[in-house]
Structure 1
Amino acid sequence: MKLPQTIKDLIDAQNNSDSLAYVACFSEEATVKDEGKTHRGKQEIKNWISKTNETFKIAMKPLDYFEGQQLLKAEISGNFPGSPLMLSYHFKFKDDTISFLLIDQD
């Protein structure tokens, strides 16, 4: 599967629980929406992913990418009820960074 480099970097950062590398994939004014909460800007995104990594130890396995829709389907597993889950990652990009990410469950 062919993935944009930014998404590859995001997956690697997630699988290594590297919050700094994860947030480096985002633009300064980026927004992430996950589990009904909105995280705006790199600091909020870093706080969110750091807490998520510490609590759930999430690993991400990409399954399919729809380039025209900028949609990644992935399986995530970790220390949470119902693991593993299938999630959809809806991206918007600005230059080579993520400007918007919506994560929802299939």
Structure 2
Amino acid sequence: MNLPKLITDLVEAQNSRDGAAYASLFSENAVVFDEGKTHTGKEAIQNWIEKSNEEYQSVLKPISYKNSDNSSVLEAEVSGTFPGSPIVLRFNFTFQHGLVGSLKITG
């Protein structure tokens, strides 16, 4: 599967549990929606991913990627220390100026 560099970098940052590298891939006012909560801005996104990494130790394994204009969907198997692991999740992205503008994670 041929993933864009931005998505590859995001998967690598997640799998190495590097919250700073993960957050650096988002625009200043980016929004993440996950588990019923919204996280706005790089600092909030870094805090969210670091807490999530500590709690769940998640690893992403990309399954498919679909891109259209200014949005895309990455489907990935996610494994970690959470009930029901592994599961397949969809990472719904929009982009701004070469960075992630929004991310909504759905089942």
Q: What's the TM-score bracket when you normalise by the shorter of the two chains?
A: over 0.9
1:24, distance to aligned residue in structure 2 (A): 0.7
1:2, distance to aligned residue in structure 2 (A): 1.6
Corresponding residue of 2:57? 57
Corresponding residue of 1:99? 101
Pairwise CA RMSD: 0.8
Unmatched 5+ stretches in structure 2: none
Corresponding residue of 2:73? 71
Deviations 1:52-105 (A, max 9, x none): 011111000000001125111000000000000100010000111000000001
Corresponding residue of 1:29? 29
Q: After TM superposition, list the pairs within 5 Å mapping 1:83-94 onto structure 2.
A: 83-94=85-96
Q: Tell me the distance in 2 between the aligned counterparts of 1:6 and 1:51.
A: 22
Q: Tell me the distance in 1 between the aligned counterparts of 2:24 and 2:5.
A: 12
1:3, distance to aligned residue in structure 2 (A): 1.2
Q: Tell me the distance in 1 between the aligned counterparts of 2:72 and 2:97.
A: 14
Letter in 2 for 1:84: P
Name the % identity: 48
Q: Tell me the distance in 2 between the aligned counterparts of 1:89 and 1:53.
A: 16
Letter in 1 for 2:46: K
TM-score (norm 2): 0.95
TM-score (norm 1): 0.96
Larger helix proportion of the pair:
1
Runs of 4+ in structure 1 over 4 Å off: none
Q: Tell me the distance in 2 between the aligned counterparts of 1:2 and 1:96.
A: 17
Unmatched 5+ stretches in structure 1: none
- How many pairs were matched up? 105
Letter in 2 for 1:93: F
